[in-house]
Amino acid sequence: MRAAALGGGLHDLVQGLGSFRLWTLLGWLDIRQRYARSTLGPFWITLSMGVMVGAMGVVYGTLFGQPMARYLPMVGDGFVVWGLISGVLNESCGAYINNANYIRQNNAGLWVYVFQVAWRQVLMFGHNAVISLALMVAFGFPAAGVAWLAVPGFLLLLANVVWMGQLLAILSARYRDVPQMVACLVQIFFYVTPLMWRPDMLHHYRWILDYNPFSALVDISRAPLLGMAPASQSWLVAAGMAAVGWPVAILVSARKLHLIAYWV
Amino acid sequence: MPHIEVENISVELPVFEVKARSLRRELAAMGRRHAMAESGDGCVTVPALRDVSFSLKRGERLGLIGRNGAGKSTLLRALAGIYRPTSGRITSSGRRVPLLDITLGLDDNSTGRQNIKLRGLFMGLGQRWVAEHEAEIAAFSELGDYLDMPVRTYSTGMRMRLAFSIAMTVEADILLLDEVLGVGDSAFQAKAKARLGEVAGRAGIVVLALHSSPAIMELCDRALWLDAGGVRMFGNCHDVVREYDDFMHHRMAA
Question: Within a domain: residue B100?
Answer: no
Please check whether residues B181 and B201 belong to one and the same domain: yes
Please check whether residues B247 and B151 belong to one and the same domain: no
Please check whether residues B188 and B137 belong to one and the same domain: no
* CB contact (8 A) between residue A102 and residue B98: no
pLDDT at B36: 38
CATH number of the domain residue B237 falls in: 3.40.50.300
Is B21 an 8 Å CB contact of chain A?
Answer: yes
Please check whether residues B116 and B219 belong to one and the same domain: no
Please check whether residues B66 and B114 belong to one and the same domain: no
Please check whether residues B142 and B222 belong to one and the same domain: no
Give the one of A26, A36, A105 whose C-beta lies nearest to B101's C-beta. A105
Is A33 an 8 Å CB contact of chain B?
Answer: yes
**Of the candidates B145, B170, B195, which is a domain's last residue?**
B170
Give the one of A33, A104, A181 whose C-beta lies nearest to B104's C-beta. A104
Please check whether residues B76 and B159 belong to one and the same domain: no
Please check whether residues B176 and B247 belong to one and the same domain: yes
Is B89 an 8 Å CB contact of chain A?
Answer: no
Q: Which residue out of B23, B25, B151 would a mutagenesis test of the A interface target, given it has the greatest number of A Cβ atoms within 10 Å?
A: B23
Confidence class of residue B19 from pLDDT cuts 50, 70 and 90?
Answer: low
**Of the candidates B170, B193, B223, which is a domain's last residue?**
B170
* CB contact (8 A) between residue A262 and residue B83: yes
Question: Within a domain: residue B119?
Answer: yes
Instruction: Tell me which DSSP letter residue B136 carries.
Output: H
CB B49 within 8 A of CB B71: yes
Please check whether residues B9 and B32 belong to one and the same domain: yes
In this predicted model, which residue has the larger pLDDT, A184 or B194?
Answer: A184
Q: Please list the alpha-helical segments (H only) found in B105-236.
A: 112-122, 127-141, 156-169, 186-203, 213-219
CB B44 within 8 A of CB B19: yes
Amino acid (one-letter) located at B93: S
State mean pLDDT over A9-31: 94
CB B79 within 8 A of CB B4: yes
State mean pLDDT over A106-128: 95
Is A32 an 8 Å CB contact of chain B?
Answer: yes
For residue A238, which of A223, A217, A221 has the smallest C-alpha distance? Answer: A217
* CB contact (8 A) between residue A105 and residue B81: no
For residue B174, which of B197, B219, B129, B204 has the smallest C-alpha distance? Answer: B204
* Triad A199, A201, A206: Cα angle to 5°: 55
pLDDT at A210: 81
State mean pLDDT over A57-73: 92
Question: Within a domain: residue B101?
Answer: no
Q: Name the minimum distance, in Å, from the CA of A164 to any CA of chain B.
A: 19
Residues spanned by the domain of B114: 106-170
Please check whether residues B71 and B190 belong to one and the same domain: yes
Cα gap A252→A264, rounded to integer Å: 17
Is B22 an 8 Å CB contact of chain A?
Answer: yes
Total tally of structural domains belonging to chain B: 2
* Cβ burial, residue A137 (10 Å; 0-12/13-18/19+): exposed
pLDDT of residue B32 exceeding 80:
no
User: Could you read off the pLDDT of A174-194 as tens digits, one per residue?
Assistant: 999 999 999 999 999 999 999
Question: Within a domain: residue B86?
Answer: yes
The two beta strands, B3-15 and B87-93, are antiparallel
pLDDT at B35: 41
Q: What is the rounded average pLDDT for all residues in chain A?
A: 94
DSSP collapsed to 3 states, chain A: CHHHHHHHHHHHHHHHHHCHHHHHHHHHHHHHHHCCCCCCCCHHHHHHHHHHHHHHHHHHHHHCCCCHHHHHHHHHHHHHHHHHHHHHHHHHCHHHHCCHHHHCCCCCCCHHHHHHHHHHHHHHHHHHHHHHHHHHHHHCCCCHHHHCCHHHHHHHHHHHHHHHHHHHHHHHHHCCCHHHHHHHHHHHHHHHCCCCCCHHHCHHHCHHHHCCHHHHHHHHHHHHHHCCCCCHHHHHHHHHHHHHHHHHHHHHHHHHHHHHHHHC
Q: Which of A32-41, A203-212, B62-71 has the lowest mean pLDDT?
A: A203-212
Instruction: Tell me which DSSP letter residue B150 carries.
Output: B
Q: Is B51 helix (H, G, I), strand (E, B) or coil?
A: strand
Q: Which residues of chain B are within 8 Å of residue A173 when distances are taken between CB atoms?
A: none
pLDDT at B30: 65
* CB contact (8 A) between residue A175 and residue B13: no
The two beta strands, B230-236 and B61-65, are unpaired
User: Could you read off the pLDDT of A201-256 as tens digits, one per residue?
Assistant: 888 888 888 889 999 999 999 999 999 999 999 999 999 999 999 999 999 999 99
Residues spanned by the domain of A222: 2-263
Q: Name the minimum distance, in Å, from the CA of B246 to any CA of chain A.
A: 33
User: Could you read off the pLDDT of B141-171 as tens digits, one per residue?
Assistant: 999 999 999 999 998 888 888 988 998 888 8
* CB contact (8 A) between residue A107 and residue B84: no
State mean pLDDT over A9-26: 94
Question: Within a domain: residue B214?
Answer: yes
pLDDT of residue B237 exceeding 80:
yes
Please check whether residues B194 and B162 belong to one and the same domain: no
Total tally of structural domains belonging to chain A: 1
Q: Which residues of chain A are within 8 Å of residue B121 when distances are taken between CB atoms?
A: 19, 21-22, 25
Calculate the CA dihedral of residues B236, B237, B238, B239 and round it to 10 degrees: 50
Please check whether residues B166 and B185 belong to one and the same domain: no
State mean pLDDT over A126-152: 94
Q: What is the rounded average pLDDT for all residues in chain B?
A: 85
